[in-house]
Amino acid sequence: MTEPGPTIVPGTGEVVSSGLEGMLGVPRQQVVRRLLRRPAGLAGAALTTLFVLTGVLGPALVPHDPAAVVGPSLSSPSLAYPMGTDALGRDLFSAVVVGARTSLVVAGLVGVLVLTIGMVVGTLSSWWGGWADDALMRLTELFQVLPRFFLAVVVGAIFGSTLPLLVLVLGLTSWPLLARVVRAEVLILKQREFVDAARVAGASGPRLVVREILPNALPAVSAFLGLVLAQVLLIEASLGFIGLGDPDIVSWGYLASQAQRFLRVAWWMSVFPGLAIGLTVLGLNLLSDAISDVLGSSR
Amino acid sequence: MRAADGRAPALSIRNLSVRYDTVHGPVHAVDDVSLDVWPGETVGLVGESGCGKTATALAALGLLPRPAGRVTAGRVLVGGRDLLTLGRRELQKVRGAEVAMIFQDPMSALHPAQSILAQVTEAVRVHAVDLSASAARERAVALLDLVGVPDARTRARSYPHEWSGGMRQRAMIAMAVAHRPRVLIADEPTTALDVTVQAQVLELLRRLQDEHELAIVLISHDLGVIAEMADRVAVMYAGRVVESATASALFACPRHPYTAGLLASLPRLDREGGAPRGHSRLTSESGRPAVRLPLPPRCALGQDREGCMADVPRLRPTGGAGHQAACHHAEELGAGPGHRLVEADLRR
Amino acid sequence: MTLRYLGWRLLQVVPTAAAILLIGFLLIHAAPGDPVLALAGQSGDAEYYAFVRDKFGLDEPLPVQLATYVGQVAQADLGTSYLQGRPVAEIIAERIPATLLLSVTALILSSVGGVALGAFAATRPHGLRDVTATGATLAVYAAPVFWLGQLAILVLAAGLGWFPVQGMTSPRSDATGMAAALDVAHHLALPALVLASQEIAAVFRLTRVGLLGELASDHVRTARAKGLAEWRVLVGHALRRPLIPVVTVIGGRAGHLLSGAIVTEIVFGWPGLGRLLLSSLQSRDTPVVLGIFLVVALFVVVANVGTDLAYRWLDPRVHYR
């Protein structure tokens, strides 16, 4: 992960700022409008929407069952098979479209896990402060240095590679960035007037956090969530590529691994699944960048 | 004093115009400005922030922020050459050697992660490439000594954040005078310093000037500093010079309503209540670029704006002794009693 | 850098390393079947299992087992490969040079290339070269590394024939000395470039942003006013501070670099840890997979601390605690 990122003082693991503070009070519709006015924001939103729509509707739209042998093996892209066929004569276009659902499911479930853990750890850490903060941040650091890809490989090797297990491993290891962002945001928001006002009005701590602070931290969090999910998709694809995808499910990484053996004879087997991953990740990155941009420039 | 001995000016800015491209469209930051500085002389360049003082100075050395700012017309003559026509390499040979510059905030003007010694040594070596590293360091220490840094040899190894503001500005001055330039452009050199340190730095500049026949362009919004240092003064408003005169003539008898307003806005100890009289005080324009009108928003003389907008007054001689002002009513203003100030009032 | 700070920072490695060992330990015990299988492999004889069981204290209570396990790992005993019947540590150690060669080359390429590209773009902000470089790095950053590898093979190796497609050395080559080194370099070029490309994107972005700020800064203006040539302003002044976060980003991405190296090795048939990992996965050689995880994880921890120390050394204004 690179810019935009939270400003982290190395070693101390301190997030000084998420780089996004000050976007509070900007009406959400206005954020969306400004987002779509930027070329990067528009492209990111379009690619992400395309990804989500394909993931949701894809299996209902494809011309063939991706597991069915429908044509000659290794035929190059044509009208009948827009992305060609694989070694067994299965339609690659159908497989790529159906593969979007796998990526969407992984991204969605990992996103939920990461958001939940990140929010809980980040909020508790900043709300409690003191030694609890220290301890939680140490824990966050530990998870941050843990090489996710390799852990997922070991878990896959020992327990077998299934989708739920993959989601669990990636979800349980990808939250540190979000925890830091949430922590930094809450620390800033805690000092805002409207929080004071709510406190004066008699709101309790937990209520304050859930009703007032977290909704306001959400835009900043969503920008970083996009970056995290983009990385998660790349890791998932890499795992699929080295043969640790769920063998019962079509995924883009699995398709790319099938291409490796036929690289010289069937370029399409490599090009299209990779393009699908690249465009999806690009979309998420662009969207996240644009969100940070919009929030950052509206201070 | 000026031209009396027939010498050429050390720096001569002729009809300089600078344009900035901003998000709100192009802005004429400097508009047809001319300025001469003779050896050993200090010329004060006065005006509010955004009036084009700094842009004039940066343009002279080709240091305008790129790509937003550029020179659209004019010449900057030093030693018979027009700096604006020089190639990049020749201009680099002039910078720091013939014309040097110091800036407002010595903290940000110094590299934060390099020792002072390294930075002064670098300034020495730029134009003395065959000097050995150790000789250059010796020279750097000597320069720091010269500008009054106590215990320079040991302290020079520290970083800018470990020095005080006054010491940092001395280090900047040491770099600037490393090659005995003809001209020193000092852009608000004391604004970031407190008053006692300010006096010391000004004193240092005066000493260096006496020793080297240095021509100084002193940019400041602080009339006190100008009164103390400048032999001649040019007042800028909205990118133009609106009045230019010897310091004594200008402070004693301003001939442009804007200058009069500036002077009147100074707090005066001998006046009741200490506050300036309201009608001649200038509306503050800090925080945004000055309005690019040929005239102040409100004329201290109460003249009708339409008349001046229709026939924009140009800088013209008035009152003799090289006094120039861009006002149709300069003579009335010069004759009036209301704005007379005693120069001593301005000294702190 | 005070010695005290150095010691304090190194001390911080201990709990992290302990946590990683604990994870390894837990994985062995959570694995289906007897934990001895995860240490000694699937097909040993009873006598050998008894030996491993004894060595790792598998009949003792769990806390004793943990202590024994940590002790064994500390002595670089990571168990035995069931496929090769040799110590895992030995097998891994054989593969490290190849992976290191690939990773370090990529690291150098990406640092130099990323900084150069960032400078190239930032000196003409929003110009053609800036837009092109920014767009290209965005695209590369989003592309999965195996795909970049496959594309590189398709176009540059198989297509144009500029580079060999697979491996580290030419088959049936008996070249020695300089010729052999050149042969390896020829094989290395493409995988190193592919692995570097992602890191280039990260370094580029950071350099560009930092440099844009610096080039507009007062101290760069001072450097210009001194009469320094533009390239010296860039290298001696403007680049100095942006390089500091670049160093930390390079160190902080050690895990990313290594996982990229694994995948790149598989695409290009490079005989390092990646190939080993792949074959161990395919033959269910769990001790080796676990060993690679431990080695990589501990390496990443060390790299992070090293980066942190480098950061403090580079920036004199950071205060020590």
CATH code of residue C263: 1.10.3720.10
A-interface mutation test, from C259, C273, C284, C313, most A Cβ less than 10 A away: C259
Cβ neighbours of B21 (radius 10 Å): 12
Query: Domain limits at C204?
Result: 95-314
Question: Residue C116 has what pLDDT?
Answer: 92
> Does some domain include residue C84?
no
State how far the Cα of C162 lies from the Cα of C186, in Å rounded to an integer: 9
**Which residues have C-beta within 8 Å of that of residue C110, sequence separation ≥ 6?**
C196, C197, C198, C199, C200, C202, C203, C250
B108 touching chain C per CB within 8 A: yes
Q: What's the DSSP call for residue B83?
A: G
Q: What is the DSSP string of B106-120?
A: HHHHS-TTS-HHHHH
C-interface mutation test, from A7, A138, A146, A262, most C Cβ less than 10 A away: A146
C314 touching chain A per CB within 8 A: no
pLDDT-derived band at B283, boundaries 50, 70, 90? very low
The answer to whether the CB of B234 falls within 8 A of the CB of B244 is: yes
Question: Residue C227: which of B92, B109, B114 has the nearest Cβ?
Answer: B92
Label the pairing between strands B183-187 and B99-102. parallel
* C67-114 per-position pLDDT tens digit: 888 888 888 878 777 777 788 888 898 899 989 999 999 999 998 999
State how far the Cα of B241 lies from the Cα of B237, in Å rounded to an integer: 6
> Does some domain include residue C89?
no
Same structural domain, C46 and C110: no
Same structural domain, C252 and C212: yes
CA distance C279 to chain A (A): 10
Q: In C, which residues are within 8 Å of B100 by CB distance?
A: 225
Question: Residue B185 has what pLDDT?
Answer: 94
Question: Residue C138: which of A12, A253, A282 has the nearest Cβ?
Answer: A282
State how far the Cα of C303 lies from the Cα of C257, in Å rounded to an integer: 11
Question: Residue B175: which of C226, C237, C315 has the nearest Cβ?
Answer: C226
B-interface mutation test, from C219, C240, C247, C314, most B Cβ less than 10 A away: C219
Residue ending a domain, choose from C23, C42, C74: C74
Torsion sign over Cα C129, C132, C133, C134: positive
Phi, psi of C42, deg, nearest 5: -85, -25
The helix (run of H) or strand (run of E) holding residue B102 is strand B99-102
Taken in order of first residue, the domains within chain A and their CATH numbers are 25-61+80-298 (1.10.3720.10)
Do C229 and B127 count as a contact with CB atoms less than 8 A apart?
no
CA distance B175 to chain C (A): 8
Question: Residue C32 has what pLDDT?
Answer: 76
Same structural domain, C203 and C143: yes
Percentage of residues in chain A with pLDDT exceeding 70?
88
Question: C226: helix, coil or strand?
Answer: coil
B65 touching chain C per CB within 8 A: yes
Question: Residue A297 has what pLDDT?
Answer: 63
| Sheet of B11-22, strand order | B25-37, B11-22, B69-78, B81-82
Question: Residue B304 has what pLDDT?
Answer: 60
**Which residues have C-beta within 8 Å of that of residue A268, sequence separation ≥ 6?**
A76, A77, A83, A84, A92
C151 touching chain A per CB within 8 A: yes
The helix (run of H) or strand (run of E) holding residue B75 is strand B69-78
The answer to whether the CB of C147 falls within 8 A of the CB of C132 is: no
Q: Tell me the C-alpha to C-alpha distance, in Å, between residue A239 and each of A194, C35, C281, C290.
A: 46, 25, 12, 16
Which chain C residue has the Cα nearest residue A261?
C267
Question: Residue C227: which of B93, B108, B161 has the nearest Cβ?
Answer: B93
Q: Do chains A and C touch (3 or more CB pairs under 8 A)?
A: yes
Same structural domain, C70 and C99: no
Which chain C residue has the Cα nearest residue A146?
C297
Label the pairing between strands B11-22 and B69-78. antiparallel
Cβ neighbours of B283 (radius 10 Å): 9
* Mean pLDDT of the region B170-192: 90
> Does some domain include residue C294?
yes
Do A155 and C27 count as a contact with CB atoms less than 8 A apart?
yes
Same structural domain, C70 and C104: no
> Does some domain include residue C143?
yes
> Does some domain include residue C138?
yes
Percentage of residues in chain C with pLDDT exceeding 70?
94
Same structural domain, C258 and C173: yes
Question: Residue B70 has what pLDDT?
Answer: 87
Provide the whole-model pTM: 0.78
State how far the Cα of A42 lies from the Cα of A290, in Å rounded to an integer: 9
Taken in order of first residue, the domains within chain B and their CATH numbers are 11-230 (3.40.50.300), 236-341 (no CATH)
Nearest Cα residue to B114 out of B62, B171, B153: B171
Do B112 and C218 count as a contact with CB atoms less than 8 A apart?
no
Which chain C residue has the Cα nearest residue B93?
C227
> Does some domain include residue C310?
yes
* Mean pLDDT of the region B16-35: 86
Torsion sign over Cα A106, A109, A111, A117: negative
**Which residues have C-beta within 8 Å of that of residue A162, sequence separation ≥ 6?**
A246
Nearest Cα residue to A51 out of A206, A294, A186, A233: A233
Q: Taking chain A, what is the end-to-end CA distance rounded to the nearest angstrom?
A: 24
Same structural domain, C68 and C142: no
State how far the Cα of C18 lies from the Cα of A48, in Å rounded to an integer: 40
**pLDDT(B278) > 50:** no
**pLDDT(A148) > 50:** yes
* Residue A200 vs residue B129, higher pLDDT: B129
CA distance B73 to chain C (A): 22
Do C219 and B109 count as a contact with CB atoms less than 8 A apart?
yes
Chains touching B by CB (3 or more pairs below 8 Å): C
Same structural domain, C111 and C68: no
Q: In C, which residues are within 8 Å of A151 by CB distance?
A: 23, 293, 297
pLDDT-derived band at A2, boundaries 50, 70, 90? very low
* C226-269 per-position pLDDT tens digit: 989 888 888 888 888 888 888 877 877 888 888 899 999 988 88
The answer to whether the CB of A44 falls within 8 A of the CB of A286 is: yes
**Which residues have C-beta within 8 Å of that of residue A186, sequence separation ≥ 6?**
A122, A123, A126, A127, A209, A213, A214, A217
**pLDDT(B43) > 90:** yes
The answer to whether the CB of A258 falls within 8 A of the CB of A269 is: yes
Q: In C, which residues are within 8 Å of B88 by CB distance?
A: 230
B-interface mutation test, from C214, C222, C315, most B Cβ less than 10 A away: C222
Chains touching A by CB (3 or more pairs below 8 Å): C
Cβ neighbours of C240 (radius 10 Å): 19
State how far the Cα of C206 lies from the Cα of C209, in Å rounded to an integer: 5
Residue showing tokens 């442009």: B256
B122 touching chain C per CB within 8 A: yes
> Does some domain include residue C208?
yes
Do C27 and A10 count as a contact with CB atoms less than 8 A apart?
no
Question: Residue A199 has what pLDDT?
Answer: 72
Same structural domain, C48 and C137: no
pLDDT-derived band at B68, boundaries 50, 70, 90? confident
- How buried is B5 (Cβ within 10 angstroms: 0-12 exposed, 13-18 middle, 19+ buried)? exposed
Same structural domain, C27 and C68: yes
The answer to whether the CB of C149 falls within 8 A of the CB of A259 is: no
Query: Encoding tokens for residue B128?
Result: 């003395």
Question: Residue C44 has what pLDDT?
Answer: 66
The answer to whether the CB of C199 falls within 8 A of the CB of C106 is: yes
pLDDT-derived band at A191, boundaries 50, 70, 90? confident
**Which residues have C-beta within 8 Å of that of residue B285, sequence separation ≥ 6?**
B48, B49, B50, B291
Label the pairing between strands B183-187 and B69-78. unpaired
Which chain C residue has the Cα nearest residue A278?
C143
Question: Residue B347 has what pLDDT?
Answer: 41
The answer to whether the CB of B306 falls within 8 A of the CB of B299 is: no
Bond from prior residue into A4 cis (ω within 30 degrees of 0) = yes
Return the beta strands (E) in B259-335 as ranges: 316-317, 324-325
Which chain A residue has the Cα nearest residue C278?
A242
Same structural domain, C133 and C37: no
A-interface mutation test, from C92, C138, C150, most A Cβ less than 10 A away: C150
Q: What is the DSSP string of A38-85?
A: SHHHHHHHHHHHHHHHHHHHHHHH-SS-TTSB-S-TTPPP-SSSTT-B
Q: Do chains A and B touch (3 or more CB pairs under 8 A)?
A: no
State how far the Cα of B47 lies from the Cα of B53, in Å rounded to an integer: 7
State how far the Cα of B296 lies from the Cα of B237, in Å rounded to an integer: 8
- How buried is B281 (Cβ within 10 angstroms: 0-12 exposed, 13-18 middle, 19+ buried)? middle
Q: What's the DSSP call for residue C177?
A: H
The answer to whether the CB of B59 falls within 8 A of the CB of C196 is: no
CA atoms within 13 A on the CB side of B197: 14
Number of domains within chain C: 2
**pLDDT(B104) > 90:** no
The answer to whether the CB of A66 falls within 8 A of the CB of A255 is: no
Question: Residue A252 has what pLDDT?
Answer: 86
State how far the Cα of A256 lies from the Cα of A268, in Å rounded to an integer: 10
Nearest Cα residue to B211 out of B156, B158, B260, B173: B173
State how far the Cα of C291 lies from the Cα of C234, in Å rounded to an integer: 45
Nearest Cα residue to A153 out of C136, C234, C273, B242: C273
Q: In A, which residues are within 8 Å of C32 by CB distance?
A: 158-159
CA distance C293 to chain A (A): 6
Q: Taking chain B, what is the end-to-end CA distance rounded to the nearest angstrom?
A: 26
**Which residues have C-beta within 8 Å of that of residue C90, sequence separation ≥ 6?**
none
State how far the Cα of C189 lies from the Cα of C105, in Å rounded to an integer: 9
> Does some domain include residue C146?
yes
Same structural domain, C294 and C222: yes
CA distance C132 to chain A (A): 14
**pLDDT(B275) > 70:** no
C259 touching chain A per CB within 8 A: yes
* A80-103 per-position pLDDT tens digit: 777 777 777 788 888 888 888 888
Do C205 and A3 count as a contact with CB atoms less than 8 A apart?
yes
State how far the Cα of A83 lies from the Cα of A75, in Å rounded to an integer: 9
Which chain B residue has the Cα nearest residue C315?
B113
Question: B31: helix, coil or strand?
Answer: strand
Q: What is the DSSP string of C95-130?
A: HHHHHHHHHHHHHHHHHHHHHHHHHHHHTSTTSHHH
